Chain A
Amino acid sequence: MIPDQIALDELERDALTEIVNIGVSRAASSLRKMVGDQVLLSVPSIEVVNQRRAARLISEREIVDLVAVRQDFSGPFSGRALLIFPETNSLELVRAVTGGELSAEEVVEMEHEALAETGNVILNGCLATMANMLKRSLTMTLPEVLRGTGATLFEIDQNSESEGLVLFLYIDFAVRQRDIRGYIAMLMDIPSLATLKELLDEFILRVVGEDG
Chain B
Amino acid sequence: MADNTTSATAEELRGVLAAAGACGAWDWDIAGDTLIVDPRFAELYGLDPQDAGRALPTATFYQAIHAEDRARIRIAVAGLLAGAELFSKEFRVIAPNGAILWMHGRGQGHRDEDDNAVRFTGLLIDVTDRKRTEERLRVAQSAGGVGTFEYQDGFATVSVSSEFCRLLGFHPTDRLPVRTINAVLLDGESPLIPPDGETPASLDGEFRIHRSDDGAERWIARRGEVIQDGEAGGYRLLGVVYDVTEAKRQEARLRDLNDTLEQRVAEEIVERLRTEEALRQSQKMEAVGQLTGGIAHDFNNLLTIVSGSVEMASRRLDRSSDPRVARALDNAMRGVERAAALTQRLLAFSRRQPLDPRAVDAPRLLAGMSDLLTRTITESIAIAIDAPDDVWTIEADPHQLENAILNLGVNARDAMPRGGQLTISARNRTIAAGEATESHVPPGDYVAIAVADSGIGMAPETITKVFDPFFTTKEVGKGTGLGLSMVYGFVKQSGGAVDIVSTVDAGTTVTLLLARSSAAVEAIDDRQSDDEPQGSSSETLLVVEDDDDVRAYTVATLRELGYRVIEAHDGASALRLLERQEQGVQLLVTDVVMPAMSGSELAQAARALVPDLLVLYTSGYPRDAITRDGRLSPGVDLLAKPFTFKGLAIKVRELLDRA
Contacts and interface: CB of A to CB of B under 8 A. Distances in A.
A42 B109 CA distance: 12
A208 B74 CA distance: 6
A21 B107 CA distance: 14
Interface string A54-69: 0011001111000000
B30 to A, nearest CB: 13
Interface stretch (A11-19, A72-80, A147-155): A11-19
A53 B72 CA distance: 27
A56 B214 CA distance: 12
Contact of A212 (B71, B86, B109): B71
A41 B176 CA distance: 21
Contact of A207 (B75, B109, B175, B179): B75
Contacts of A56: 171
A197 interface: no
Interface in B159-185: 170-171, 173, 175-177, 179-180
A5 B85 CA distance: 31
A18 B75 contact: yes
B174 to A, nearest CB: 10
Contacts of B179: 63
B113 to A, nearest CB: 11
B317 to A, nearest CB: 117
A6 interface: no
Given A21-B79, A60-B170, A62-B177, A211 B70 contact: yes
Interface stretch (A24-32, A92-100, A157-165, A187-195): A24-32
Contacts of B85: 21, 25, 28-29, 40-42
A7 to B, nearest CB: 17
Contact of B71 (A11, A26, A40): A11
Contacts of B84: 18, 21-22, 25
A133 interface: yes
A61 B176 contact: yes
A57 B75 contact: no
Contact of B173 (A11, A61, A204): A61
What does DSSP make chain A's interface, helix, strand, loop or mixed?
Answer: helix
Interface in A27-56: 28-29, 40-42, 53, 56
A63 B71 contact: no
B212 A211 contact: no
Contacts of A25: 83-86, 109
Contact of B82 (A42, A53, A133): A133
Interface size class of B (residues with CB under 8 A): 20 to 34
A189 to B, nearest CB: 23
B74 A211 contact: yes
Given A11-B72, A29-B115, A60-B170, A18 B177 contact: no
B78 A18 contact: yes
Nearest to A16: B75
Contacts of B175: 61
Nearest to A54: B171
B576 interface: no
A14 B83 contact: no
B86 A40 contact: yes
Contacts of B74: 207-208, 211-212
Residue of A25, A53, A63 with most partner-chain B CB within 10 A: A25
A61 B178 CA distance: 10
B111 interface: yes
A187 B539 CA distance: 130
B381 to A, nearest CB: 82
A60 B75 contact: no
A14 B76 contact: yes
Nearest to B79: A18
Given A42-B86, A57-B171, A60-B212, A212 B70 contact: yes
Contact of B75 (A42, A53, A129, A204): A204
A28 B84 CA distance: 10
B62 interface: yes
A164 B71 CA distance: 30
B180 A61 contact: yes
Contacts of B78: 18, 207
A53 B86 CA distance: 29
B12 to A, nearest CB: 29
B71 A22 contact: no
A25 B70 CA distance: 23
B115 A18 contact: no
B169 to A, nearest CB: 9
Contact of A60 (B72, B82, B176): B176
A211 B62 contact: yes
Interface in B57-77: 62, 70-72, 74-76
Given A15-B75, A25-B83, A42-B86, 12 more contacts: A11-B75, A14-B76, A18-B76, A21-B86, A25-B85, A53-B171, A61-B180, A63-B180, A133-B82, A204-B75, A207-B78, A211-B70
Interface of A: 10-11, 14-15, 18-19, 21-22, 25-26, 28-29, 40-42, 53, 56-57, 60-63, 129, 133, 204, 207-208, 211-212
10 contacts: A11-B71, A14-B72, A18-B76, A22-B83, A25-B85, A29-B85, A29-B111, A60-B176, A63-B179, A208-B71
Interface of B: 62, 70-72, 74-76, 78-79, 82-86, 88, 109, 111, 115, 170-171, 173, 175-177, 179-180, 212
